[in-house]
Amino acid sequence: MPVQPVVIGVDSSTQSAKAAFIDAATGRTLAVGRAPHHVGGEGGARESDPEVWWHALREAVAAGLKESGLHPSAVIGIAVAGQQHGLIVLDRAGLPVRPALLWNDTRSAPQAAALTEALGGPEAWTARTGSVPVASMTAAKWQWLRENEPRAASAAAAVRLPHDFLTERLAGTAATDPGDASGTCWYSTATGAYDPELLRLIGLDADLLPPVAATGAARIGSLTATAADDLGLPVGIAVAAGTGDNMAAAVGLGFGGAGLLDHPALSLGTSGTVFAASRTRPASAALAGFAAADGTYLPLACTLNCTLAVDKIAALLGLGRDAAEAGGEVVLLPYLDGERTPDLPAASGLLTGLRHTTTRQQLLGAAYEGAVVTVLRALDEVLRACGLDPSDEAVAARPLRLVGGGARGRHWVETVRRLSGRPLLIPESTELVALGAAALAASAATGNDPVALAAGWQGDAAVELPPVERDLETWERISGVLERAAAPTLLS
Q: pLDDT (tens digit, 9 = 90+) per residue, 45-95?
A: 999 999 999 999 999 999 999 999 999 999 999 999 999 999 999 999 999
pLDDT at 213: 98
Q: What are phi and psi of 271, to 5 degrees?
A: -110, 165
pLDDT at 344: 84
pLDDT at 199: 98
Q: Which residues are catalytic?
A: 245
The dihedral region occupied by 52, where left means phi > 0, alpha psi between -120 and 50, and beta the remainder, is alpha
- Alpha-carbon span 429 to 413, nearest angstrom: 16
In a domain, 405, yes or no: no
Find the mean pLDDT for residues 368-395: 94
Choice between 468 and 345, residue whose per-residue pLDDT is larger: 468
In a domain, 203, yes or no: yes
Find the mean pLDDT for residues 373-382: 94
- Per-residue burial over 100-117, b = 16 or more CB atoms within 10 Å of its CB, e = otherwise: bbbbbbbbbbebbbebbe
* CATH number for position 209: 3.30.420.40
Asked if 448 contacts 219 with a C-beta cutoff of 8 angstroms, the reply is no
Closest CA relative to residue 24, chosen from 60, 82, 75: 75
pLDDT at 270: 82
In a domain, 141, yes or no: yes
Find the mean pLDDT for residues 273-297: 93
pLDDT at 492: 45
The dihedral region occupied by 172, where left means phi > 0, alpha psi between -120 and 50, and beta the remainder, is left
- Specify the range with the lowest mean pLDDT, choosing from 117-126, 380-389, 477-486: 477-486
pLDDT at 339: 86
pLDDT at 1 over 50: no
Find the mean pLDDT for residues 307-315: 95
Helix (H) or strand (E) holding 88: strand 88-90
- 398-428 pLDDT per residue, tens: 999 999 889 999 999 999 999 999 999 999 8
| DSSP assignments along 402-456, one per residue | EESGGGG-HHHHHHHHHHH---EEEES-S-HHHHHHHHHHHHHHH---HHHHHHH
In a domain, 316, yes or no: no
- Alpha-carbon span 418 to 427, nearest angstrom: 19
Helix, strand, coil shares of the chain, percent, nearest 5, are: 40, 20, 40
For residue 68, give every residue at least 6 positions away whose Cβ sits within 8 Å of its Cβ, in sequence order, or none. 6, 21, 30, 31
∠ Cα 339 344 347 (to 5°): 75
Instruction: Count up the domains in the chain and report the number.
Output: 1
The reply to whether omega before 210 is within 30° of 0 (cis) is no
In a domain, 265, yes or no: no
Find the mean pLDDT for residues 259-279: 93
Closest CA relative to residue 10, chosen from 73, 77, 67: 77
pLDDT at 141: 98
pLDDT at 490 over 50: no
pLDDT at 26 over 50: yes
- Alpha-carbon span 302 to 306, nearest angstrom: 10
pLDDT at 346: 84
Give, as one character, the DSSP assignment of residue 338.
B
Closest CA relative to residue 367, chosen from 321, 424, 401: 321
- Alpha-carbon span 263 to 19, nearest angstrom: 27
Domain extent, residue 64, equals 6-246
Instruction: Label residue 483 by pLDDT band (50, 70, 90).
Output: confident
| Percent of all residues in the chain with a pLDDT value above 70, rounded to a whole number | 98
**Residue 11 β-bridge partners:** 18, 81
What average pLDDT does the chain have? 94
In a domain, 348, yes or no: no
